[in-house]
Amino acid sequence: MFDTKEPELYRFSERIQAWGLSIRRVVATERIRSVVEALPGPRNRLYQPEAMEKADSMIIEQLTNSGWLPEKQPFSYSNIKALRDISPLLLNENEKLKDIMMVYDRLEGSNIIAVKKGTDEPENAIVIIAHHDTVKASQGANDNTASVAAILELARVLGSYRFKKSVVLAMPDMEELWLLGAIALVESLVASYKILGVINYETMGCVDSDPGSQVVPQGIDLLYKDQYNRIKANDFKGDFTCIIYNGKAKSTASMLGTALNNLTGKQTSLYLRDPNDLPVIGKLLGILVPTVRNFARSDHSRFWDAGIPAMMVTDTANFRYKHYHQPTDTPEKVDYHRIADIAAATATVIAETAELILNN
């Protein structure tokens, strides 16, 4: 009734599916780990600007070494409303939101963008993003350094390939302040491309096989009965990867989830469709089930606001990961095999959407 059922499996051609499996063999788990261990943290423009600049330089160097042409895109805002402090925020507690917001006279940040131009349709692009700032008191290994490392590994394994359509890799800034870098990123990309889809990596490295490790927010059982029953049948283990998407991104979400399931050999992906863009009933569902506001807690929601197909790939953050926004969010907590699987699955989606050019 509410179009919240999980999408059908996507049917890749044998050629693309085989290519995706071959890519997983070259995605290097240890390289991802080494990036997470090397990038400085905590890092953000307000409290640790030197660490942020060092991270920028390291990211740009790795993208360059992988054959991409990265650039920093500075942005600034005057009299901008944002979080008073870079700290945990749960959007189902809206009554507290006004107490943790303030108006800044000026904020300055920089997004990092790298583009592989398409050979035939360079104006059409698929976009992969992961914010590269952290909260001020956390090293941010899972939120969100592992996601940045996944993009850098994607850049490495895709460096020698060509595509008919463009591929954009981006690391927005100031996500932890209120998704500020994403505002500038959307504006920049919309001016240059028709965006075919956006995949946002957000806090996705916690895989917990203990029964009861997955918290299910109130109302999910009503709106997403099939998904809830899957989680319940699995003893509420936090071992799945959640793909949260808007209606326009249904096909791309199906691609990613199918590719991830193919790589892991099991039903690893769990889909949740954001209901807010459903005609008429959408806004009402957002009021009746306020927990769905959590679906917009990262940079993909700025693309949703612009009517662009987009999704978030996540381990569900604080609903599973006990170290979310804490000093204990350190590299040994990350499941690097899952991060590598997600990166390889994303490569398969890129190959399908951007039309990989293979010589044979």
> pLDDT category, 283, cuts 50, 70, 90?
confident
Structure tokens belonging to residue 313: 């790939």
**Model confidence at 351: pLDDT above 60:** yes
Characterize the bridge pairing of strands 241-245 and 310-314. Answer: antiparallel
Tokens standing for 287? 């009021």
Q: Where are the domains of the chain?
A: 14-75+110-357
Question: What percent of the chain is modeled with pLDDT above 70?
Answer: 95
CA proximity to 323, closest of 219, 243, 205? 205
Pull the structure tokens for residue 315: 């381990």
**What pLDDT shows up at residue 90?**
47
pLDDT tens for 19-41 read 999 999 999 999 999 999 999 99
| Nearest one of 58, 28, 40 to 156, comparing CA atoms | 28
Taking the CB of residue 126, how many other CB atoms lie within 10 A of it?
24
pLDDT of the residue at 338: 99
How many Å from the N-terminal Cα to the C-terminal Cα in the chain? 45
Tokens of 353: 């959407």
Beta-bridge mates of residue 101: 83
pLDDT digits (tens, 9 = 90+) for 155-169: 999 999 999 999 999
* Residues 292 and 217: beta-carbon distance below 8 Å: no
Q: Supply the pLDDT for residue 284.
A: 82
User: What letter represents residue 155's amino acid?
Assistant: A
The string of DSSP codes covering 40-95 is: -SS-BTTTBHHHHHHHHHHHHHHHHHTT---EEEEEEEEEEEEESSS----TT-GG
Residue 95 has pLDDT above 60, yes or no: no
- Looking at every residue in the chain, the average pLDDT score rounds to 94
**Mean pLDDT throughout 269-298?**
87
Helix (H, G, I), strand (E, B) or coil at 303: helix
pLDDT of residue 92: 44
Q: How many CB atoms lie within 10 A of CB 258?
A: 22
Check if the beta carbon of residue 285 is closer than 8 Å to that of residue 4: no
Kind and range of the H or E run holding 129: strand 121-129
Q: pLDDT band for 96, please (50, 70, 90 cuts).
A: low
Task: Tokens 């240059």: give the residue.
Answer: 192
CATH of region 14-75+110-357: 3.40.630.10
What does the alpha-carbon distance between residue 315 and residue 222 come to, in Å, rounded to a whole number?
A: 21
Type and span of the H or E element at 198: strand 194-201
What CA–CA distance (Å, rounded) separates 268 from 12?
18
The answer to which of 114-118, 206-210, 218-222 has the lowest mean pLDDT is 218-222
pLDDT in tens, 40-92: 999 999 999 999 999 999 999 999 999 999 999 999 999 999 987 665 544 44
